[in-house]
Structure 1
Amino acid sequence: MIDDTHPKCFSDLVRISGFSHGTNVWLGNAQDLIKAGTCTLQNAISARDDIMMYLIHKGVDPLLAFKTMENVRKNRGIAPDVVEILKKASIPDWYIESCQKIEYLFPRAHATAYVMMAYRIAFCKVHYPLAYYTAYFSIRAAAFDSDIITRGKDAVKQKMEEIEAMDSPSDADNALYVVLQLAWEMYLRGFKVKKVDLYKSGANRFQMVTEENAVLPPFTTLNGLGAVDAKAIVEKRTEGPFLSIENLKKELVLIKKVLKHCVCMAVWMAWMKVTR
């Protein structure tokens, strides 16, 4: 839609939001009209309000304009007698035909709310990038894979290329690809992702490590480790440090699964040698 419309201002984005949330509003309708030069982004029908306001502007009775808008947005079309009234008001044929194709129209206020939220998110991404990535990964990145992403941008890029080369990537691969794209962007902007830390990582929320320009993943980003086990680790470590490997195994067997992924692995390996 952006390629076809070339938006230049906030209101243009609101119109695009309307196109994308309607049914038979963009494909086979507004898109074709804009490409053919019949209309522009600014006067194509994108939201239900467009119809009523345009008809009133052209001199159509306000009540009839409202009823026409309601019929169009509810997929009832425009009755033949109303079509004649609209033609007498110099409503162009392309506009009437566009209305007849529409099955559902989004309200402009709703589209505006979406774009306002998008602006807020974009502002945060530009001016508070570490907070943005931390929040996004915590809320929207269930497919985050620490095994891959913590190895750096080259590993991320390699995995992206592997997925791109697949003939039929699975839903899991597609979900991972979206996360990898953001991780790749993050690395290019100079930030990094730390390895899961046995004593610092949360159960299921990412954390900012501002002094290192980094994000610290939670335990749930480790393959095979679920939310219940992750919470168990966090609860167990509040009781104090693990005093020995024997204590570690006794208290929480699943910690062994975490150790091979953690940044503190080297410390534990050294500890094992000392305590043997």
Structure 2
Amino acid sequence: MAFKIMEIVRKGKSTKLLTEEHLNAMKEHDVPQWYIDSCMKIKYMFPKAHAAAYMISALRLGWYKVHKPIEFYAAYFTVRNDNFDGATLLKGRDAVRNKIKSIEEKGFEASAKDKAEVPMLQIMNEMLARGIEVLPVDIYKSEAKKFVIEDGRIRLPFCSLTGVGESAAFSLAEAAKKGEYLCIEDVITRAKVSKAVIETLKECGAFGDLPETAQMSLF
């Protein structure tokens, strides 16, 4: 009955659907008269409640964006990393802005994928404009999907690179926990990732000075 009363009240139908039985039950269970009176005055609550909930969320996000910017962007990118282009971000703000411009110049010829990239590129540009720096993908320090704060900067995860899927990202993160690699061939063996993924990691310098193979050359 309590649930039914709640549903009637939130839909703004108290004056029509609340019966004497409902009112007496509330009084018997020590519901204050002011509360019962309020139930009879409440109108349909969903739109206002929905708006209030969104406003509270917006205020919280706004507070973190202003006062804890590094934490904000790290969390934002971790949760919403679709269309994230880590390679472009690492090249700096000019590269990010140029990519936005090139997509916009395509006009109606821009693909759905291109258009989906723009909002993320705009957030990247905003972050860089605020002086927040990022660290490149590192085979030992990067997580699979989580953007980690490291020395006041944000370390990019494996999945931030176009071409490194979720499965490969988790494989790389797990393999790194087992100790140092002997060479890039060792990464392929332990992480079981494709050569295409390895090439992407090479291009962004994720391997550092790790040799291609463990075999020693005699000449």
TM-score by length of 1: 0.57
Aligned to 1:198: 139
* Equivalent residue in structure 2 for 1:131, among 38, 60, 71: 71
Aligned to 2:161: 222
CA distance in 1, matches of 2:215, 2:133: 32
Offset of residue 239 of structure 1: 1.4
Q: Is the 8 A contact 2:171 2:193 kept in 1?
A: no
CA distance in 2, matches of 1:266, 1:232: 19
CA distance in 2, matches of 1:200, 1:258: 17
Letter paired with 1:200 = K
Structure 1's unaligned 5+ residue stretches are 1-47, 50-61, 71-104
Is 1:256 the counterpart of 2:195 in the alignment?
Answer: no
Aligned to 2:29: none
Is 1:107 the counterpart of 2:47 in the alignment?
Answer: yes
Offset of residue 274 of structure 1: 9.0
CA distance in 1, matches of 2:76, 2:216: 41
Letter paired with 2:83 = A
Q: 1:245 to 1:221 in 2, by over 3 A?
A: closer
TM-score by length of 2: 0.70
* Equivalent residue in structure 2 for 1:170, among 111, 114, 119: 111
Q: Is the 8 A contact 1:125 1:132 kept in 2?
A: yes
Aligned to 1:31: none
Offset of residue 253 of structure 1: 4.5
Q: C-alpha deviations, 1:163-215, integer Å up to 9, x for none?
A: 11121233322221111111111111111222111111111111112x2x321
Is 1:143 the counterpart of 2:83 in the alignment?
Answer: yes
Is 1:154 the counterpart of 2:94 in the alignment?
Answer: yes
The 3-state SS of whatever aligns with 2:209 is: helix
Is 1:242 the counterpart of 2:184 in the alignment?
Answer: no
Please list, as runs of the form range in 1=range in 2, the aligned pairs for 1:7-156 lying within 5 A after superposition: 107-156=47-96
Is 1:179 the counterpart of 2:129 in the alignment?
Answer: no
Q: 1:219 to 1:245 in 2, by over 3 A?
A: closer
Q: When the two structures are aligned, how many residues end up with a matched partner?
A: 178
The 3-state SS of whatever aligns with 1:141 is: coil
Aligned to 2:35: none
Aligned to 1:268: 210
Letter paired with 2:182 = L
Offset of residue 225 of structure 1: 1.4
Identity %: 34
CA distance in 2, matches of 1:148, 1:205: 18
Letter paired with 1:208 = I
CA distance in 1, matches of 2:184, 2:58: 49
Offset of residue 249 of structure 1: 3.9
